Structure 1
Amino acid sequence: MAEDRKQETLESSETLPFIQKALVIPEKLKDSPEDETEKEEDNKDTACGFWIFRGPSMQRFATEQMYVILYGLAGCVMTMTFAYFNATITTLEKRYKIPTKITGIISVGNDISTMLTAALLGYYAGNGHRPRWMGIVSRLGLLTIVAFCLLTSSLHFLYGAGEDALKLTREFGQVNETLARQEKDKKLCQSSPGGCIQEVGQWVPQVFLFVAQLISGVGQALFYTLGIAYLDDNGTKSKTPAMLSMSSLLRMLGPAIGYSLAALCLRLYIEPTLEPLIGREDPRWLGAWWLGWLVLAAITLISALFLFMFPKELPSSRKRRLQLKQTERKMSLPLKERSFGDMMKTVRRLARNKVYVYNTFASILYFFGYMAYWIFTPKYIETQYRQSAATATMATGTVALGFSAAGVLISGYVISKYKPSARSMACWNAIVDFVTVAGILCYVAIGCEGSDRLNSLTTLSAGDSCSASCHCDYVHYAPVCSPENITYISACHAGCSERTKDALGRTIYTDCQCLGSSSLTTSESQFAVDGTCPVDCFNEFLVFLGVMCFLKLVGASSKSTNLLIALRCIPQEDKTFALGLGSMVASLLAFIPSPIFFGWLIDNYCLVWGKTCSSKGNCWLYDTESLRYALNFTAASFIFLGGFLNISVWYHAKDLKIFDEEKSPKSSSQNKELEMKSLNSKSQQN
């Protein structure tokens, strides 16, 4: 689906806040020689640029505002890659004959690696020096994404465009006319059973894609785990919503650009140098899915270089770190060590936090239900409304995501201006859940009767006893249209034994014995035209797109409110680990099982499989009506349950404070004096 809403919410759930606040000490300590050496190293760490691209003139860019921009743009590039993968899923299924449930398993590879690293990295890194961690791991994360892009695109260079795609080009017949004629004859009614279709190394592309996703998940965990936490701690709580909205807006551009890039690439044939004999609306069309990965690898590498220009640590963060170190030396307060036992105590403490538990599981249920649309929306549009892969991708990635961006901006403005309470935010999250359920139920009603009827008639033709005598079990999906406007899986299934060309150059199959009723069929009507019968579902597609954009707008508006509740419902010392743990649990219970479950559900409504010798291959045709009911009702059920958990969040969040109270300079100085006295008394007791 469009937005990679999966990616957006995933980012929010993986962001981990800074847990050590700076203490303002008016008195300075005399620096030791070791401190002087450390200061020299710190000056290097806070300087912009690298190698020869470093100087005082660039130091003015080492600001929190520039960090927000660079971090947002780097996140934009990262989300482009995930959106591009989702947009090309159907093409990958056709090219490498992958069932949808296997595609679901492949797509959760990044969630598996993220789950294994997020919580531990958040716990042990949270007590360390986060800015330096961020400077190192964010760059490494982007370079890992470069490897992900190159590994995915390498499949095309290893396996080529595929024999099925090459047979549908004009050059194929020109190079070998005899072989081309034999391939065309295989589509006709056969007097004896044909051999099954051999697929050499069919599992290797699936392993390649899964490993690439695992690598991308590592990069994602490295990049996002400490990012927004650093963002949250470099500003006051009142400014956090605006900063989160700006960062989210920049990242939201990524899915829009990624889907747009996919739409452009899929308009080109998988082998751009060859001339295809079919149009983009033909279900057999394979776009140049591999081309975009090369572009994404180059863009990601450039963004990594720009991030290398940014310092490992902001000067303001360095100042707080030095002040904290001086305070610890003066008061002789030992740093708290991290241990597994302490981590388990934190887990038990979080389990008793009702707001945290209910908010986490409400998000998990929402993620589980909406995951089907994040990943399979282009596929849904192609099958339900008979749109090309490029059109489905463009609608999902540009129009719909524009409404998501608007939702984030509007919510950020409203929250910053009116500063709603925690209960108001939880109430809005529940309302968004129930509105989403209503919108999904509208999806059930937005069907295309022509598409439903076409698929049912095609299924009847596949099971016809007449076509059984033609031995069509292993004939490639090559649809033909009869005069009765019935689509047959192939000329073989229509019982056609001859072919010819008409005045327009179209392929016409004649002497088709399985067309219509035998009592009404005449020799003049026993023909079929190459291609599926025309079906107009564009109006229904526009209605679906309108509802989807509305749900994007409403759903995105709850992103900031959900994140703020997650940031504020836990104490500072537990915040980093709590959000890391929430990310791990969300991956384990939602992000990983949901795509697999919905992939299995979609496969259950397949009508025509591309059979091979070793497996069923990919699905070419679905029972669109039954699939529409099953998919939407199932997804709505999970989100509906999540709405009730948000009501529980509303009930228990009555004492939760989201924003800092306004303080006068006088009261602020008094609070600092009281804080210093408290710290001095504690140090004396120790």
Structure 2
Amino acid sequence: MGPRIGEGPHMPDRDNKAAMGTEDMHESKVSMESQDALQDAQPPRLFHSIKFFVLCHSILQLAQLMISGYLKSSISTVEKRFGLSSQTSGLLAAFNEVGSVSLILFVSYFGNRVHRPRMIGCGAILVALAGLLMALPHFLSEPYRYDNSDYKSQDMEASLCLPTTVAPASTPSNDSCSSHTEAKHLTMVGIMFTAQTLLGIGGVPIQPFGISYIDDFAHHSNSPLYLGILFAVTTIGPGMAYGLGSLMLRLYVDIDRMPEGGINLTPKDPRWVGAWWLGFLISAGLVVLAAIPYFFFPREMPKEKHELHLRRKVLTGAASRVSKGEALTSQQEPLKKETGLPQIAPDLTVVQFIKVFPRVLLRMLRHPIFLLVVLSQVCTSSMVAGMATFLPKFLERQFSITASFANLLLGAFTIPLAIVGIVLGGVLVKRLHLSPMQCSILCLLGSLLCMVLSLPLFFIGCSTHQIAGITQDLGAQTETSLFPGCTEPCSCQSDDFNPVCDTSAHVEYITPCHAGCTGHVVQEALGKSQVFYTNCSCVAGGGSVPAGSCESACSNLLLPFILLTSLGVMVASITHTPSFMLILRGVKKEDKILAVGMQFMLLRVLAWMPSPVIHGSAIDTTCVHWALSCGRRAVCRYYDHDLLRTRFIGLQFFFKSGLLVCFTLIVAILRQQNKEASVKATVKNIDLQQL
């Protein structure tokens, strides 16, 4: 590979010195700094600037977080498009952790032995490839069918009530299934799981290699500022992912292959599927563009010589405290976790490293504070993982809002307040110089307040509206009870789904056929078309019903719910930094970096991988009407809203309770340790006095 590129800037100077006359040596030495400054301004020197690397890495991590968070913003849409249960979609969302966990230790071990910028670039290309693979099922599958008509002529006639002699014979869904159809469905799902695995593998080298590269070649006083800029920019990524999801899901899924005559759906229709795939293409394109510069950065660049004049004294003080391990922010230490293992045993072979690692791990697992802090963060991460994956879907179902609007709420309220909570926790630790005992008390109070804020959420919502033939508590006002046998002349297909709402009785029918409707009209108003189904025998007076599900009766509770949820997330985020400080100040100095690395590996294995599956399984148990595809349960059409709210919020409350228990035990242990230390100090003083 030739000489190191990082040594290049100094080589021309040495060559020039050898060729110069004796009288020119002094002049060259005096003008060295000015020559370096001129060389820095030249285009080839751009890739020898750590400032430019910080800019590139901020953009790359922003794009990476967008592509990894975008699936969560469109999880309910992917379920509808491919007929997935919430358990399966939760497993899909968690699958990127599989590749990450499998490689994190090896990446940590070989940290400084590879060309880090190129490894980051290769990882970014793999992330972009994963994004393209996630979008591939859209192009391989047939156009989306939202009714029982054929692909090219989706119209409103397919769901009308027609006499048995006129309507086509209703064929069971299993008759239309074949081994080819099922194999194609499994192929689409398999492609998405493969893409998620590649996404996890590709993301492994990006953060640790980038952070260590900045820390190695930045001036020691500038490093905190550069890392602060990096974290500030990258934390915007999840919010931008939900914002991108909000925009993309307003577009129809088959915008690239619209049927003739257009479609008769609006984003409020429960059958609407947005352009979920388009966000992956946009994010993948951004990642590719952000990855290009990394192939031009040197393996090693000259150490930055000058301290930035901006707030020099403040940054110098912060850097000195960081070097002593006394004030690491919650974002810096997690991202440095993978870079620490080579520093522990740089000369060990892989086999020796594997032999030593279990003994060090066992020593850490015997530390009660370490175990309890890890368990507390497992609870927090489980809560966050479940909420990030399924809160948009929960809001859609509970308050009858569109997927686009649900993503907008998360991107505008929940994620910004979570960032505020993390920053606020770091400021409190730094400004108040909190001791381990004070950090644990702050975490205890934060977890207690988080539980208090979650209690009203059990009661903010409304019950499932009446759905003819599905809900059991329709009551005496149900039109089907007033008009028994109103659908007998109809030939309604059981697997059809085209909901209509009798607004006078607030009863929903899964198709116009089940409402006994025989005709339809399209009314234009304010540039928008509204479909009405007419001559409905199950409606009082044989009137008409509008297309679409019934509106929520408690939409006014949406804002209080999202505000309380966001405040709870902010309060829980305050505990992020203090909990890290408990580990950094609680374990032995030689185990500190490995402890942080193991902490995050355990978080991925115990929280980020299982939590979406657990939340998805809990959501599936509240389903009251499943769509069937080839004899198997596909996507859920209707949920019991009360049960959904109780189990989703209850699962969150369970993890918050675990968080409170862990910090209570930590406070008790630290208090006992302080008492024992005080007694030992007193005994020692008495012994000294007696001497």
For the superposition of Structure 1 and Structure 2, which TM-score range results when normalised by the shorter chain? 0.7 to 0.9
Residues 163 and 491 in structure 2, CA contact (< 8 A), matched pair in contact too: no
Match of 1:300 in 2: 287
Matches within 5 A, 1:405-444: 405-444=419-458
| Residues 256, 397 of structure 1: 8 Å contact kept | yes
Name the counterpart of 1:626: 643
Whether the aligned pair in 2 keeps the contact of 1:423 and 1:651 (CA below 8 Å) is no
SS in 1 for 2:465: helix
TM-score, normalising length: structure 1: 0.75
1:402 corresponds to: 416
Task: Quote the Cα distance in structure 1 between the aligned partners of 2:468 and 2:145.
Answer: 29
Corresponding residue number in structure 2 for 1:116: 102
1:603 aligns with 2:580: no
SS in 1 for 2:269: coil
Q: How far is the alpha carbon of 1:230 from its aligned partner?
A: 5.9
2:253 to 258, 270, 276: 270
* Matched residue SS, 1:610: strand
1:584 Cα deviation from its structure 2 partner = 2.8
Q: Matched residues, percent identical? A: 22
2:511 to 472, 490, 495: 490
Q: Deviations over 1:313-367 (max 9, x none)?
A: 353399xxxxxxxxxxxxxx99455432211211121122222221111111222
Distance 1:346 1:440, change over 3 A: same
Equivalence for 1:561: 578
CA distance in 2, matches of 1:475, 1:352: 56
Q: 1:399-452 CA distances to partner (integer Å, 9 max, x unpaired)? A: 322222323333334433333223222322232222222222222121135xx3
Moved more, 134-143 or 226-235: 226-235
- The answer to whether the Cα contact below 8 Å between 1:118 and 1:583 also exists between their aligned partners in 2 is no
1:232 shift after superposition: 6.7
Greater shift after overlay, 565-574 or 234-243? 234-243
Match of 1:88 in 2: 74
Kept in 1: contact 2:50–2:304 (CA 8 A) = no
On the 8 A contact 1:241/1:412 being kept in 2, the answer is no
Q: Assess if the C-alpha contact under 8 Å between 1:430 and 1:646 holds in 2.
A: yes
Q: Residues 410 and 506 (structure 1 numbering): CA distance in 2 closer, same or farther, change over 3 Å?
A: closer
Q: In the aligned structure 2, how far is the partner of 1:257 from the partner of 1:411? A: 23
Cα distance change on mapping 1:146 and 1:222 into 2, 3 Å: same
Q: Which amino acid in 2 is paired with 1:617? A: A
Gaps (5+ residues) in structure 1? 1-36, 48-53, 319-332, 516-520, 657-686
Alpha-carbon deviation of 1:650? 4.0
Look up the SS of the partner of 2:546 in the other structure: strand
Q: 1:200-599 residue pairs with structure 2 within 5 A?
A: 200=181, 201-228=184-211, 246-272=229-255, 274=258, 275-316=262-303, 335-337=347-349, 338-448=352-462, 452-454=464-466, 459-460=471-472, 466=485, 472=492, 474-482=494-502, 483-494=504-515, 496=516, 498-501=518-521, 506-515=530-539, 521=540, 524-525=541-542, 527-535=544-552, 537-599=554-616
How far is the alpha carbon of 1:278 from its aligned partner? 2.1
Whole-Å separation in 2 of the counterparts to 1:646 and 1:167: 58
Contact 2:118 2:294 in 1 (8 A): no
Partner AA of 1:121 in structure 2: V
Question: What is the distance in 1 between the residues matched to 2:371 and 2:222?
Answer: 26
TM-aligned CA distance change 1:308 to 1:646, over 3 Å: farther
Amino acid at match of 1:162: Y
The worse-fitting range, judged by mean Cα deviation, of 405-414 and 434-443 is: 405-414
**Distance change in 2, residues 1:335/1:605 (3 Å):** closer
Indicate which of 172, 186, 193 corresponds to 1:195.
172
Letter of the 1:164 partner, please give it. Answer: Y
SS in 2 for 1:611: strand
Q: How far did 1:112 drift?
A: 1.3
Within-5 A mapping of 1:670-681 = none
Counterpart CA distance in 2 for 1:195 and 1:420 is 67
Please, which runs of 5 or more residues in structure 2 have no aligned partner?
12-37, 306-344, 674-691
Give the Å deviation of 1:226: 4.4
Pairs aligned (count):
581
AA of the residue aligned to 1:103: S
| Conserved? CA contact 2:48–2:301, under 8 Å | yes
Distance in 2 between residues matched to 1:456 and 1:642, nearest whole Å: 43
Aligned-pair CA distance for 1:599: 0.7
1:129 is aligned to: 112
2:48·2:302 contact (CA, 8 Å) conserved in 1? Answer: yes
Q: Which residue of 2 aligns with 1:183?
A: 158
Amino acid at match of 2:101: M
Structure 1 pair 434–313 and aligned structure 2 pair: CA distance change class (3 A):
farther
1:106 aligns with 2:96: no
Tell me the CA shift for residue 454 of structure 1. Answer: 4.4
Assess if the C-alpha contact under 8 Å between 1:81 and 1:258 holds in 2.
yes
Of stretches 98-107 and 481-490 in structure 1, the one that deviates more from structure 2 is: 481-490
Code of the residue aligned with 1:117 in structure 2: it is: L
Look up the equivalent residue of 1:534 and give its one-letter code: E
Q: Which residue identity lines up with residue 196 of structure 1 in the other structure?
A: S
Q: Which amino acid aligns with 1:298?
A: G
* 1:557 Cα offset (Å): 2.7
More displaced 10-residue stretch of structure 1: 225-234 or 407-416 = 225-234
Change in Cα spacing, 1:89 to 1:566, as seen in structure 2 (3 Å) is same
Aligned-partner Cα distance in 2 for 1:290–1:234: 39
Alignment-derived partner of residue 64 in structure 2: 78
**Does the aligned pair in 1 maintain the 2:47–2:298 contact within 8 Å?**
no
Q: How large is the RMSD of aligned CA atoms in angstroms? A: 3.9
Q: Assess, with a 3 A threshold, how the Cα gap between structure 1 residues 99 and 468 changes in structure 2: closer, same or farther.
A: farther
- Separation in structure 2 between the aligned mates of residue 45 and residue 613 of structure 1, nearest angstrom: 66
Label 1:467 to 1:91 Cα distance change in 2 as closer, same or farther (>3 A).
farther
Native 8 Å contact 2:147 2:159 kept in 1: no
3-state DSSP of counterpart to 1:609: strand
* Distance in 1 separating the partners of 2:451 and 2:103: 33
1:21-36 alignment to 2 at 5 Å?
none
Distance 1:164 1:334, change over 3 A: closer
Deviation, 1:556, is 2.9
- Measured against aligned partners, the alpha-carbon deviations of 1:576-624 in whole angstroms (never above 9, x if no partner) come to 4433332332222222221111111101111221212231210121111
Deviation at 1:84, TM superposition (A): 1.1
Amino acid at match of 1:594: S
State whether residues 187 and 476 of structure 1, in contact with CA within 8 Å, keep that contact through their aligned partners in structure 2: no
CA distance in 2, matches of 1:267, 1:194: 34
Question: Does the 8 Å contact 1:93/1:618 carry over to 2?
Answer: yes
Q: Measure, in 2, the Cα distance between the counterparts of 1:215 and 1:46.
A: 40
Relative to structure 1, the CA distance from residue 421 to residue 264 in structure 2 (aligned partners, 3 Å threshold; closer, same or farther) is: same
Q: Deviations over 1:604-652 (max 9, x none)?
A: 1112212122312101211111110111112211221122212333455
2:7 corresponds to 1:43: yes
- Per-residue displacement from partner, 1:650-683 (whole Å, max 9, x unpaired)? 4556899xxxxxxxxxxxxxxxxxxxxxxxxxxx
**1:335/1:217 CA distance change after superposition, 3 Å:** closer
